[in-house]
Structure 1
Amino acid sequence: MQKLTAIIPTKNEIDNIEAVIASVDFADEILVIDSFSDDGTFEKATTLATKVIQRKFDFYGTQKNHAIAQAKHEWILLVDADERVTPKLKTEVLSILNQDKIEHDAFNIKRINHFMGERVNYSGWRNDSVIRLFKRDVCKYDNRHVHEALIVNGSVGHLKQKFLHYSYRSFNHYMQKMDRYATLQAKDYDKKTGRLTPYHFFIKPFWGFVKHYIIQSGFRDGVVGLTIGYVQGYVVFMRYIKLWLLRKNRT
C-alpha cells in the first residue's frame, strides 16, 4: 500500500483540531501547518499530530505548497480543519492506495456542506468538490489570494464518497470569513478588472443573489438558502468596494 500524509492547515481552530485529526488517524503521517494560532490550536496539535510546523500566513496557496514540500510521503490527503473524513471515505481512500497501479494522479472529493445547523442541499453548494487526494510531486497550488486551485500535471479522477464540511461555526463567523475573502479577492481582481462602474456595484451583486437563490435553487433551502444568496451578493459588492478603496489608497 502507498503511504499517505494527511495535511491540515490551521489558524485558531481549537474547536475543530481534535475532531479533524481523529478523522485522518489512518494516515501514516499527520502534518499540521499552523498560521501562528493564539487560541491553543498549535499546542493541542503538537500532542496529536505527527508533525506540526508554523508559518506566517500570506496566501492560502503558498501556505499549502509549503506544507506539501514538507510531506514525508508521495500521496497527500489535504483536509481543512472544518472538514471530516467519514469512515466510508476513509475506506475508499485506502482502497485506492492499495492498488498496484493507481490510475490517476489526483482525485476530486465532493463535500456535504452544513450551515446554520442544517445541511445545505442547493444554493450552489450541492455539487461542491475539491481536489484533495493527490501525488505530491505532480501537483501545486496556484498563487491566488483566495479560492486557490490545485494545478495537476496529470489525470484527475473522482471519488464516490464525500467529506463532511462544517465551514462556519456561526453566522458571525460566516460574515467575518466572507469579509476576509472580499478583501483578498479585491487584490486578485485588481489585476483583471478595468475601470469600476455601476455594473460592478449594482448588477454583479444582484446577479450573485439571483444565481445562488434562484438559478441554483437556494429557495429550496429555506432561510438558510436565502441567507446564502443574500450574503453571496453582498460579498460581491464588498469585493468591489474594497477594490475601489485599494486603488484609491494606492494613488
Structure 2
Amino acid sequence: MTAPRLSALIVARNEEARLPDCLASVAFADEVVVVLDRSTDGSARIAQVAGARVIEGAWELEGERRNTGIEACTGDWVLEVDADERVDAALAVAVRETIATSAHAWHQVPVDNYVGDRLVRFGWAGSFGTTSVPRLFRRGAKRWRAQRVHPGLDWTGTEGPKITRGALVHLVDRDISDMLRRLDRYSTAKAADLIAAGDIGTLRANVRRFFSRGFKSYVSRKGYREGGWGVLLALCTGAFPLLSYLKAKLEPEKHGGGR
C-alpha cells in the first residue's frame, strides 16, 4: 500500500529572517507550499531555493489566504505551519505515523510557546494563544472562514486523537513589548471583523469577558504557575475582546466603519 503523501503549508508575510528555520523543520514532508501575502523581502527566493512551491498574492482576510494555500496542496494530508513555528523531530515522526494509520479527518497538534528564550507552558487561553492547534488534516477536510484574525473553521469528517509526542515550537513573541504589539494588531483586525459583521457587541458583555477570560487564563489554565508571565497573559487574554470592541465603538472610521 502506498504511504499517504504529506503537504506542509506555510503562510507568511515578510518573514525572510525566520523562514529558513521553518522550512528546514518541514523538510520531511513530501511537498512544501509557501503562500506569501504582499511580501516585499527575500522570502520568495528563500522558499524557492529550499524547493518549495511559492504562491504570491494579496489577501485582506486571513481565512482567504489560508484557504488558497490549502487548495494548492496536492498531498493526501496537510500540515499547516506558520513562519514563526518549527516542527521538532519528535513531532515529525509522530505526524508520519499518524497519517499512516489514521481513520479520521483531522488531529490536534501540541504547541510549545516561547516568549524570547522562555518556554511559557501555562496560561494560554482564548484568542491570545493555545497549547494545541488543529493543524494536521486530510486535504478537503478543513476550511477557514472569511475573517481577518483567528478565523473560524468548518470541518468535514471526524476528529482523531490528539498527537502527544513532540511539539510545534512557536516563537510567539520576542519580548513583552512584542506581546503588547501583537495585542494591538490582533484587536485592530478583530475590530474590523466586528464592524463587517454588523454586531460589535456591548460594553457590559466585553467587560464581563475581560474578567472571565482573565480568570480562565490565570486560574483554569494555571497561568499562576508562570509568575509574572502568567499575569501578563491573563491581562492580554482578557483585554483582547474588550479592546477590539472599544476600537470598533470609539474609532469606527479607522477600522472600516467610516463613510
Q: TM above 0.5, one fold?
A: yes
Shift, 1:175, TM fit: 2.1
Shift, 1:151, TM fit: 1.9
1:165 matched to which residue of 2? 170
Give the percent of matched residue pairs that are identical in Structure 1 and Structure 2.
27
Task: Rate the CA distance shift 1:194–1:27 in 2: closer, same or farther, 3 A.
Answer: closer
Shift, 1:53, TM fit: 1.0
* Runs of 4+ in structure 1 over 6 Å off: none
Residues 107-158 of structure 1 deviation map (CA, whole Å, 9 limit, x = unaligned): 1112111124211121135962111111112321122221123322101112
Residues 8-64 of structure 1 deviation map (CA, whole Å, 9 limit, x = unaligned): 001122221011111110111111001122332222222113211112131111111
* Structure 2: gaps (5+ residues): none
1:136 matched to which residue of 2? 139
For the residue of structure 2 that corresponds to 1:44, the secondary structure is helix
Shift, 1:200, TM fit: 4.9
Q: Distance in 2 between matches of 1:68 and 1:195?
A: 32
Is the CA contact (8 Å cut-off) linking 2:142 and 2:153 kept in structure 1?
A: yes
Q: Structure 1 residue 153 and structure 2 residue 156: aligned? A: yes
Q: Structure 1 residue 238 and structure 2 residue 243: aligned? A: yes
Q: What letter matches 1:220 in structure 2? A: R
Q: Distance in 2 between matches of 1:124 and 1:173?
A: 16
Residues 81-126 of structure 1 deviation map (CA, whole Å, 9 limit, x = unaligned): 1111111111111123333xx3111111121111242111211359
1:250 matched to which residue of 2? 258
Give the alignment's TM-score, normalised by structure 1. Answer: 0.88
For the residue of structure 2 that corresponds to 1:159, the secondary structure is coil
Could you tell which deviates more after superposition, 41-50 or 7-16?
41-50
Q: Distance in 1 between matches of 2:209 and 2:115?
A: 24
* Structure 1: gaps (5+ residues): none
2:4 matched to which residue of 1? 2
Q: What letter matches 1:114 in structure 2? A: Y
Is the CA contact (8 Å cut-off) linking 2:116 and 2:171 kept in structure 1?
A: no
Task: Rate the CA distance shift 1:135–1:200 in 2: closer, same or farther, 3 A.
Answer: same
Is the CA contact (8 Å cut-off) linking 2:11 and 2:83 kept in structure 1?
A: yes
Q: Structure 1 residue 96 and structure 2 residue 98: aligned? A: yes
Q: Structure 1 residue 212 and structure 2 residue 214: aligned? A: no
Q: Distance in 2 between matches of 1:64 and 1:221?
A: 33
Is the CA contact (8 Å cut-off) linking 1:122 and 1:221 kept in structure 2?
A: yes
Task: Rate the CA distance shift 1:208–1:107 in 2: closer, same or farther, 3 A.
Answer: closer
Could you tell which deviates more after superposition, 175-184 or 4-13?
175-184
Is the CA contact (8 Å cut-off) linking 1:74 and 1:137 kept in structure 2?
A: no
Give the alignment's TM-score, normalised by structure 2. Answer: 0.85
Q: Structure 1 residue 106 and structure 2 residue 120: aligned? A: no
Q: 1:37 aligns with which of 30, 36, 39?
A: 39
Could you tell which deviates more after superposition, 179-188 or 85-94?
179-188
User: How many residue pairs were aligned?
Assistant: 248
Is the CA contact (8 Å cut-off) linking 1:34 and 1:55 kept in structure 2?
A: yes
Task: Rate the CA distance shift 1:205–1:98 in 2: closer, same or farther, 3 A.
Answer: closer
